[in-house]
Chains A and B, each alone.
Chain A
Amino acid sequence: MPDSNTIITIRNVVKRFGSSVTAVNDVSLDIRRGEFFALLGPSGCGKTTLLRMLAGFESPSEGEILIDGEDMDGVEPNKRSVNMVFQSYAVFPHMTVHQNVAYGLKVAGTPKGEINQRVGEALALVQLESMADRKPDQLSGGQRQRVALARALVKKPKVLLLDEPLSALDAKLREQMQLELVRLQKSVGITFVIVTHDQNEALSMADRIAVMEHGNVLQLAPPAELYEYPNCRFVADFIGKMNLFDGQVVGARDGRVVVRVNALSDRVGDLELPYDGEARGGVGVAIRPEKLRLSSSEPVDEPVRLRTRIMEVVYYGDENHVFLEAGEAKFTANLQNVSRGAHAGVVRGEDVWISWRQEDTLLLTS
């Protein structure tokens, strides 16, 4: 039984379209009351389909969905206490901003006085009070999105569903809206479920993230855990950047496993990595680019160190991305430009030492 902390329970949900497409494949997860939850995955992985099943626009082929303990099987979208912000916003073009926000209250038969008051509050929440009498075609994309938000929030839903809400905004506005959505969510206390294919968006906004691929949820974790402890190659690679190598488990020693990475073994020997599960056979060994350290002289106290050649340096202003090679092994290192000219010595064609801490190395068994 879901406890009172759970607002949405998804149990073994499968969604098939026709006989060939399985958009969502046996997903089970709980969404907690009041959290900012993100469904993250590449395009076509089934995020929207899962969200639409929560809203009631699609019904699961198998499995069940509970919202606040209630089975949603056969419950029409207009009878669910969730509201959705559509990817296209779907702000009614023939109604003013005020009429758009009032629509959901009007169809529910809310008294006129209360409608005006609540619409006013909702518009204030998204800072659109001055636009109440405008038509949507007199608004910018960002403003239309706020209307869509106000229109959904004014219904005081138990859960607000947002399908790629920021994808149509330009980069600056998107960053600003990320912060604003988080502020909004904390202030209204409503559970937000957001769908996105943008890992930065998910990491910066969500309390917990479910990473999806091919209709499956691969990992469900808070952002930091997802980034630092991805549980499989797909998640490791999809979230942020990763230096990934193939290796074999060759032994185990008190809570650590010994891994031989073919591309590195003749330079650094076998790696001893902390791992509390059971691992054998082929595994992935991964290290984040920003966790590599570069030095011109051999860092003798570092257990994992090797000499590499700088193949390319790409300058991003705040960071340099350095592409390195040591025989078969290719690395990317991200260096913060902590002061002007901090990495003046890092130039193409030079040889440098790279090193990293054993504890920062990831072992990926799948």
Chain B
Amino acid sequence: MESWRNNRLVFAVLALPPTAWLVIFFTVPLIIMWVYSFAERGPQGQIELAINFANYARAIEWIHLGIIWKSIWIAAVTTLITFLIGFPLAMGIAFAPARWKNVLLLLVILPFWTNLLIRTYAWIAVLRTRGFLNFGLEWAHEKLTILFGFFGTAQVMGEFQPLELLYNQKAVVIGLVYVYLPFLVLPIYATIEKLDKSYLEASLDLGAGHWRTLFSVTMPLALPGIISGCLLAFILSMGTFLTPALLGGTDSEMIGNLIARQFSSSRDWPFGSALSFLLLYLTFIILWVRASLAGRKAGPL
């Protein structure tokens, strides 16, 4: 029988809707943005088409480079923490008994079923000065004070000071780790799950302990998944906007917020477009480095 790909009409009919969708809602807006990025902002915020690189030059001024650098830094810290939590989690799920696996995976994916905005507000309720976390700490403090009171040393506990957890970079990192954890866990889980477990047994059999096996065998073999997961977490947190907007303070404006501001209060679409494309180029560079690294490894010697 003929492959359906060879039947051009069928192929065209089937391929048309997704292609049209991509062109209308992705490619065309992207091209418009790209054209805008070379335009000029009129006095009332209108867009005056032109060909100049002033927006790009502005984007790499120190003040904006600072924000980009901070975004990279926050994304890096977020990725590191997400990995430290996510890798053991992925291992745990991959090695869990078969009947637990699906339940655990479901728990990881479950947050996706709730709107991100609502989940982020929930973090505000947890982290704010009179939030659940501080309530919990205060309660523990109270009990400890009573406990120390039995020994007549209640004063060592001092007065309870609620922690300043919200509206700073820490809150942003906490929020980002929470949001992007599943993106890191799933690819790592998928590679470990597929891994032939006899590699790990062979390592043990040859006299290696569990830690040695983890670092010498499991992690190198899971590297493709680790890289994918970390890149995903990094790129997504780099471009994030909602989390720093809601949980961050004055010290935690990220490039996403800067871009969003150009399209709203600043009404400077050309500059916003240039910033967006800068972020896009950055992402491309990261992906390109990753692809060429992977290509080199797969090549002969």
Pairwise interchain contact A103-B196, C-beta atoms closer than 8 A: no
Pairwise interchain contact A103-B205, C-beta atoms closer than 8 A: no
A86-B198, A86-B201 known; A94 vs B207 contact (CB < 8 Å) = no
A residues near B221, Cβ cutoff 8 Å:
92-94
A144 within 8 A of B: no
Pairwise interchain contact B198-A103, C-beta atoms closer than 8 A: no
Pairwise interchain contact B206-A83, C-beta atoms closer than 8 A: yes
A90-B202, A94-B220 known; A108 vs B207 contact (CB < 8 Å) = yes
Selected from B201, B209, B216, B223, the residue in CB contact (under 8 A) with A103 is: B216
A55-B205, A78-B208, A155-B207 known; A88 vs B198 contact (CB < 8 Å) = yes
Considering the chains assembled together, what is the distance between the CA atoms of A152 and B202 in angstroms?
9
Selected from B198, B209, B217, B223, the residue in CB contact (under 8 A) with A78 is: B209
A279 within 8 A of B: no
Which residue of A is nearest B198, CB measured? A90
A residues near B284, Cβ cutoff 8 Å:
none
Considering the chains assembled together, what is the distance between the CA atoms of A108 and B212 in angstroms?
11
Fill in one digit per residue for A71-101: 1 if any B CB lies within 8 Å of its CB, else 0.
Answer: 0000011100001101110101110000000
Instruction: Report the minimum CB–CB distance from A133 to chain B (whole Å).
Output: 9
A residues near B60, Cβ cutoff 8 Å:
none
B residues near A288, Cβ cutoff 8 Å:
none
Pairwise interchain contact A104-B201, C-beta atoms closer than 8 A: no
A86-B198, A92-B217 known; A151 vs B206 contact (CB < 8 Å) = yes
Pairwise interchain contact B201-A57, C-beta atoms closer than 8 A: yes
Considering the chains assembled together, what is the distance between the CA atoms of A155 and B207 in angstroms?
9
Considering the chains assembled together, what is the distance between the CA atoms of A83 and B199 in angstroms?
14
Pairwise interchain contact A77-B212, C-beta atoms closer than 8 A: no
Pairwise interchain contact B208-A83, C-beta atoms closer than 8 A: no
Of B198, B202, B212, chain A has the most CB atoms within 10 Å of the CB of B202
Pairwise interchain contact A92-B208, C-beta atoms closer than 8 A: no
Pairwise interchain contact B204-A103, C-beta atoms closer than 8 A: no
For chain A, residues 134 to 168, give those with C-beta under 8 angstroms from any C-beta of chain B. 151-152, 155
Instruction: Report the minimum CB–CB distance from B214 to chain A (whole Å).
Output: 12
Q: How many A-B residue pairs have CB under 8 A?
A: 59
B203 within 8 A of A: yes
Fill in one digit per residue for B199-235: 1 if any A CB lies within 8 Å of its CB, else 0.
Answer: 1011111111100100011001101000000000000
Pairwise interchain contact B198-A83, C-beta atoms closer than 8 A: no
Considering the chains assembled together, what is the distance between the CA atoms of A88 and B212 in angstroms?
22
Instruction: Report the minimum CB–CB distance from B208 to chain A (whole Å).
Output: 4
Selected from B196, B207, B212, B220, the residue in CB contact (under 8 A) with A90 is: B196
Pairwise interchain contact B196-A77, C-beta atoms closer than 8 A: no
Considering the chains assembled together, what is the distance between the CA atoms of A57 and B217 in angstroms?
17
Which residue of B is nearest A134, CB measured? B301
B residues near A55, Cβ cutoff 8 Å:
201, 205
Considering the chains assembled together, what is the distance between the CA atoms of A94 and B217 in angstroms?
8
Considering the chains assembled together, what is the distance between the CA atoms of A335 and B206 in angstroms?
49
A residues near B206, Cβ cutoff 8 Å:
78, 83, 103-104, 107, 151-152, 155
Which residue of B is nearest A163, CB measured? B198
Considering the chains assembled together, what is the distance between the CA atoms of A28 and B288 in angstroms?
60
Pairwise interchain contact A104-B198, C-beta atoms closer than 8 A: no
Considering the chains assembled together, what is the distance between the CA atoms of A151 and B217 in angstroms?
15
Which residue of A is nearest B301, CB measured? A135
B residues near A107, Cβ cutoff 8 Å:
206-209, 212, 216
Instruction: Report the minimum CB–CB distance from A167 to chain B (whole Å).
Output: 14
Pairwise interchain contact B203-A83, C-beta atoms closer than 8 A: no
A77-B201, A86-B201 known; A104 vs B217 contact (CB < 8 Å) = no
B residues near A104, Cβ cutoff 8 Å:
206-208
Instruction: Report the minimum CB–CB distance from A168 to chain B (whole Å).
Output: 13
A residues near B207, Cβ cutoff 8 Å:
78, 104, 107-108, 155
Pairwise interchain contact A84-B217, C-beta atoms closer than 8 A: no
Considering the chains assembled together, what is the distance between the CA atoms of A86 and B201 in angstroms?
9
A residues near B209, Cβ cutoff 8 Å:
78, 107
A residues near B203, Cβ cutoff 8 Å:
92, 103
Instruction: Report the minimum CB–CB distance from A47 to chain B (whole Å).
Output: 16
Selected from A83, A87, A92, A93, the residue in CB contact (under 8 A) with B205 is: A83
A residues near B220, Cβ cutoff 8 Å:
94
B residues near A88, Cβ cutoff 8 Å:
196, 198
Which residue of A is nearest B298, CB measured? A137
Instruction: Report the minimum CB–CB distance from B271 to chain A (whole Å).
Output: 46
Q: A83-B205, A94-B221, A151-B202 are in contact. List 17 more A-B contacts (CB 8 A).
A: A57-B201, A76-B204, A78-B204, A78-B207, A84-B205, A86-B201, A87-B198, A94-B223, A103-B208, A104-B206, A104-B207, A107-B206, A107-B207, A107-B209, A151-B206, A152-B205, A152-B206
Q: Can you pick out 21 interface pairs between chain A and chain B where the beta carbons lie within 8 Å of each other?
A: A55-B205, A57-B201, A57-B204, A76-B204, A77-B201, A78-B204, A78-B205, A78-B208, A78-B209, A83-B206, A84-B202, A86-B198, A86-B201, A90-B198, A90-B201, A94-B220, A104-B206, A107-B209, A108-B207, A151-B206, A155-B206
For the complex of A and B, list the 6 residue pairs with the smallest distance between their C-beta atoms, beginning with the closest.
Answer: A104-B206, A90-B202, A90-B198, A107-B208, A77-B204, A86-B198
